[in-house]
Amino acid sequence: MSKLWQKSNTDTKTSAAKKAEAFTVGNDYLLDKELVPYDIQGSIAHAKALNKIGILSDDELGKLTNALHEILKEWKEDAFEIRIDDEDMHTAIELSLVEKLGDLGKKIHTARSRNDQVLTAVRLYEKEQLQEIKELIKTVAGAILEFAEKHQNVPMPGFTHTRKAMLSSVGLWGGAFAELLILQAESSQGIESLVDKSPLGSAAGFGTSFDIDREQEADDLGFSGPLICSTTAQLSRGWIELQFVQYLSGVTAVLNRFASDVIQFSSSAYPYFDLDAAVCTGSSIMPQKKNPDVAELLRGGYSELAGYAASLQMLTTNLGSGYHRDLQLSKEPVLKSVRKTKQLLEAAELLITNMKPIKENLAEACSSEIFAAEAAYDLVKEKGMTFREAYRHIGDHPEEVEDISAEEILKKYTHLGSPGNAGLEKLRKRLDLF
């Protein structure tokens, strides 16, 4: 079966050719299985553009569109195959069109290249996946916020340098992670604008002599508009993917720190949160063990995203303008990053909805040393000392720090974002906006 690039004098059956094929194709034909629907969307939009300039008649457009929908149906039924000798989904789809429609199927590639095809498919995929991930971020932020709201007046020690520092609260602790996720979702507008430009019609990066209506193609596909310069399309490949994966890496970085806290604060050394057995595993040798495996894998998952981002960064370093086969390798980090981010967000929701604070342990952990700053504040308010004088006095006389009820101290914190007023209602309003 011939390849899209094959000439009549090209022999692709030699041993060397087969080895080169295996190396150059790699697992790209397998990765493409996930992108077939997006490539079909692009092909339908392109067929409409060809019809508009008279390359396809109305009847031919109808037949091609119907055949493309048939291929999509086959894909949904897991009956559409992409073989290694196809190299990619583009070849497999075109060969299927030829099988169904004869020479008409060969017209679909007029005025386009596999370069703008794959770019279009990947950008459509990124647009769709970004919306799904934003919904998952909202779900997880909402679950953490609900946890914070339910337990907002439960005092807990705050830590710096892994040592007890000052009074905090479960509401403030949970609210902080919810707010980071809200900030991440709010910042998505930047990456959304990057992936919302259509590469279709840029062909191999230098346009074509066919008068393709690229703005109409972009509109048909739901993009805000086309990338203006055809050469921008090839320059953007890998560059936009890097920023897309870095965005996902930012999401999972929040989950990493959240998981680290859950692991610490559910340990025997810091028994502040109780994890349900559903999110823990046991040991094959130690009957007493209750291991926080969901949290540990959630923490570790971030390293995979950071690795994918690093891979893309190195891949695109020192590449000149135009297409380079290196860029084929930008696809896998994107697909894997999306899958991993979704898994980690789902695990984070599972974790937060299967844990609860151990109030008596948290109260006991709020020992007198965390009120040292409060004692210094009292000297400022009651004796007119400067804060620095009060600070030194308490530092020299730690015995003067009273062992006060954490619940009572919590009531003294009234400013926005403090342990007694975490501002959760404001976070709830922001969460509801997206």
- Taking only the tens place, the pLDDT of each residue in 340-396 is 999 999 999 999 999 999 999 999 999 999 999 889 998 999 999 999 999 999 999
| CA distance between the termini of the chain | 49
**pLDDT reported for residue 5:** 47
- Taking only the tens place, the pLDDT of each residue in 95-117 is 999 999 999 999 999 999 999 99
**pLDDT reported for residue 1:** 47
Output the six-digit token pair for 102.
């004869």
Q: Are residues 270 and 339 in the same domain?
A: yes
196-200-202 Cα angle (round to 5): 115
Of 42, 75, 110, which one is at a domain's C-terminal end? Answer: 110
399-401-403 Cα angle (round to 5): 105
Q: Are residues 380 and 426 in the same domain?
A: yes
C-alpha count within 13 angstroms, C-beta hemisphere, residue 432: 7
Output the six-digit token pair for 30.
């397998």
Give domain status of residue 195, yes or no: yes
Q: Which of 187, 194, 198, 173 is nearest to 249 (CA)?
A: 187
Output the six-digit token pair for 11.
């022999």
The total of structural domains in the chain comes to: 3
Q: Are residues 336 and 280 in the same domain?
A: yes
C-alpha count within 13 angstroms, C-beta hemisphere, residue 335: 15
**pLDDT reported for residue 283:** 79
Q: Are residues 254 and 126 in the same domain?
A: yes
We report the CATH number of the domain holding residue 300 as 1.20.200.10
**pLDDT reported for residue 154:** 97
The long-range contacts involving 399-402, CB below 8 angstroms and separated by at least 24 positions, are: 400/375, 401/368, 401/369, 401/371, 401/372, 401/375, 402/368, 402/371, 402/375
Give domain status of residue 8, yes or no: no
pTM over 0.85: yes
- Taking only the tens place, the pLDDT of each residue in 325-338 is 999 999 999 999 99
Is residue 8 over pLDDT 90?
Answer: no
The residue ranking higher by pLDDT, 398 or 310, is: 310
Q: Which domain holds residue 339?
A: 116-364
Give domain status of residue 7, yes or no: no
Q: Are residues 57 and 150 in the same domain?
A: no
Q: Are residues 226 and 341 in the same domain?
A: yes
Q: What are phi and psi of 225, to 5 degrees?
A: 170, 175
Give domain status of residue 6, yes or no: no
Q: What are phi and psi of 274, to 5 degrees?
A: -105, 125
Q: Are residues 301 and 386 in the same domain?
A: no
* DSSP annotation of 163: E
Taking CA atoms, 299 is separated from 255, 278, 348, 351, in Å, by: 7, 18, 10, 12
What confidence tier does 399 reach under pLDDT thresholds 50, 70, 90?
confident
Quote the percentage of the chain above a pLDDT of 70.
97
Q: Are residues 405 and 334 in the same domain?
A: no
Give domain status of residue 162, yes or no: yes
Give domain status of residue 173, yes or no: yes
Of 62, 90, 110, which one is at a domain's C-terminal end? Answer: 110
Taking CA atoms, 306 is separated from 133, 231, 248, 256, 260, in Å, by: 17, 29, 9, 11, 17
Residue 32 to residue 225: CA distance in whole angstroms? 25
Looking at the annotation, which residues are catalytic? 161, 283
Give domain status of residue 4, yes or no: no
Residue 256 to residue 263: CA distance in whole angstroms? 11
**pLDDT reported for residue 405:** 86
Residue 29 to residue 25: CA distance in whole angstroms? 7
400-405-408 Cα angle (round to 5): 110
Q: Are residues 122 and 82 in the same domain?
A: no
